Amino acid sequence: MNVQTNNKEPRRIIDGSLCDARTFRMHVPWTLWRSFLFMLIAFLVELSASAQDRPNIIIIVADDLGWNDLGYHGSEIRTPTLDSLAREGVELNRFYAHPTCSPTRSALVTGKSPLRLGFLSPLAKNNRLGLPLSESTIADHFRWNGYQTILIGKWHLGRFSNEYLPNSRGFDHFYGYLTGGVGHYDHVHGGGLDWQRNGATIREEGYTTDLLTNEAIRIIQRHDPMKPFFIELSYAAPHMPNEAPKEAVEEYGHLQDENRQLHAAMVSEIDRGVKRIFETLSEQELLDRTIVWFLSDNGGECAEAYLETTRQRFDQLTKIFGEPLPLEALEFVRHNMANSASDNEPLKGGKGTAFEGGVRVPSLIYAPQYLPAGRVDERITVNDVLPTLAAATGLTGLDSSAMDGVNQWGFLSGNAQHVSADFIVHGTNGQEAYYRDHFKLILGKGDELQLFDLMKDPFETNNVASHHPELVQELTQKLVDFPRGESVHDPIWKALLDMDRFGGEEDRPPWAEVEGVNAGPVHPLYFILPVLLLSVFASIWTVRRRRKRREP
């Protein structure tokens, strides 16, 4: 069937005159394109201005950094960059984290108490649960508000299934490791390589601090200039194992304790990494539009953090069996106790404890274009980080009333009074502490109630509980009544069967390549001991049975 068409094109009216279709198509598209280009340019200018108005955010987290591990606290460790930032920025003299890493990180990304989230201690590598999936994270909120969101370094909030991983929890980009700690050169945790970029395992040589710093610099140099960025840079150091570049260790050859030499070198390497990041911000002309918040995730690990009875028992075991101890779980504790070299003086205790040395940690904010410099002696906590940065950047869609932390930005900028929010910490030895204003109540299993006036007694030497019975009763009840989420932790025996070793040989697939349990060989003693115990019980039962038969 043939179809005939009329190829004669109609005439149109432009500017009051008739013209043919060809002239119309040439004129109208240019008019539309010109209008579109003007609108696009205006939009990009507005977008660029908006991106420049909103500050970039970098949170730098050191792992197990002690109070007396920084130069500006009087340490023998040289940290000139951090010293300068504390002097030119805001030194948070009473900043509080939680006693261990996973609880602190859960509070950092949600603004909520770890107790409310079900976090009591570090997550074991094969733990089934992680940060509750019902929770929005700090990365979610910044991402929903147009920020590029990047996590570099340690996660430690769940790895058992993909839904718990950083890329599923609001981070556009993730480079680092999922578990509690890795060898600083082999990047191995618990027998498996734990080093990845966005879910893909990476095998690369290098010291963790250098690699993580390099990634942060690369991101800063290549970020989308039309969007502000949010970076959480979570260093692996100075967490065990004690490893550092030879030239850095040689700087501390005058120290008698070899472990302290290594620890000091690890801290100095972080300081050098921070210096490189600030140099990059300056080179990229971003320093005046960036807020940098530095903190430690808990107090430093040291022998003083362990109970005296625990230290004595391990000394006895070491005398009997030598080094290493026969059971991997026992050797793990002995090694950390004997080789950890943080210094929390003059504070009491250390990592894992509810005492000040476990939770009062170094912290500072460098943002001279936004905040007046100086030392802040009022209590600010890791719970406050999210609501404070949300106020600083004007985040929307965030319900701060559901958080345990409070917005301290107005106070820090000199426009409001300090908000003293109550604060609770849970120590690994069963102790819990409740902070209200300058008082601190410590309640332990079977222990005497302890109340300290931290303004008069920051080193927790004078128990004033008997002088404030009503306050003790009130805070004790507050501690008991605090809403606690369902625990995210697997039974401890599961972790003891396959300990979280930091570094060492690989005996299983890389962690990024396994969803679910990533099991390695179980130590032979875990099979031998139950058999021996059963044999002993069987022998006892047999002897008793024979005795009963002989009885008249």
CA dist., res. 18 & res. 461, Å (int): 97
**DSSP 3-state assignment of 365?**
strand
Tell me, what's the pLDDT at 34? Answer: 58
Tell me, what's the pLDDT at 31? Answer: 54
Tell me, what's the pLDDT at 345? Answer: 97
**pLDDT of 340 above 50:** yes
Q: What are the tens digits of pLDDT across the range 365-388?
A: 999 999 999 999 999 999 999 999
CA dist., res. 73 & res. 273, Å (int): 20
Q: At which residue do the structure tokens 């023998």 appear?
A: 76
Tell me, what's the pLDDT at 545? Answer: 76
Tell me, what's the pLDDT at 50? Answer: 52
**pLDDT of 535 above 90:** no
Tell me, what's the pLDDT at 430? Answer: 87
Top mean pLDDT of 93-107, 434-448, 509-523 is at: 93-107
Q: Where are the domains of the chain?
A: 12-48, 54-302+340-481
Q: Are strands 360-361 and 148-154 parallel, antiparallel or unpaired?
A: unpaired
Among candidates 120, 106, 21, which has minimal Cα distance to 488?
Answer: 120
Tell me, what's the pLDDT at 252? Answer: 98
Q: What are the tens digits of pLDDT across the range 163-174?
A: 999 999 999 999
The Cα-based distances of 121 to 217, 253, 353, 408, 425 in angstroms read 32, 35, 11, 27, 11
Tell me, what's the pLDDT at 538? Answer: 78
Phi/psi for 236 (5° steps) reads: -80, -20
- The more confident residue out of 34 and 107 is 107
CA dist., res. 317 & res. 315, Å (int): 6
Instruction: Give the pLDDT mean for 533-548.
Output: 76
Q: What are the tens digits of pLDDT across the range 217-253?
A: 999 999 999 999 999 999 999 999 999 999 999 999 9
Mean pLDDT, the chain, integer = 91
CA dist., res. 302 & res. 335, Å (int): 11
The answer to whether 176 touches 209, Cβ cutoff 8 Å, is no
CATH classification of 54-302+340-481, choosing from 3.90.950.10, 3.40.1190.20, 3.90.550.10, 3.40.720.10? 3.40.720.10
CA dist., res. 325 & res. 167, Å (int): 39
Tokens of 427: 């120590």
**pLDDT of 48 above 50:** no
The mean-pLDDT minimum among 274-288, 392-406, 445-459, 537-551 falls in 537-551
Tokens of 534: 């059963």
Instruction: Give the pLDDT mean for 142-159.
Output: 98
Q: Which amino acid is at 88?
A: E
CA dist., res. 381 & res. 423, Å (int): 8
Q: What are the tens digits of pLDDT across the range 466-509?
A: 999 999 999 999 999 999 999 999 999 899 889 999 999 999 99
Q: Using the Cα atoms of residue 468, residue 472, residue 475 and residue 481 in order, give the sign of their dihedral.
A: negative
Tell me, what's the pLDDT at 544? Answer: 77
Tell me, what's the pLDDT at 93? Answer: 98
CA dist., res. 289 & res. 282, Å (int): 10
Instruction: Give the pLDDT mean for 415-430.
Output: 94
* pLDDT-above-90 percentage for the chain: 80
Q: What are the tens digits of pLDDT across the range 319-328?
A: 999 999 988 8
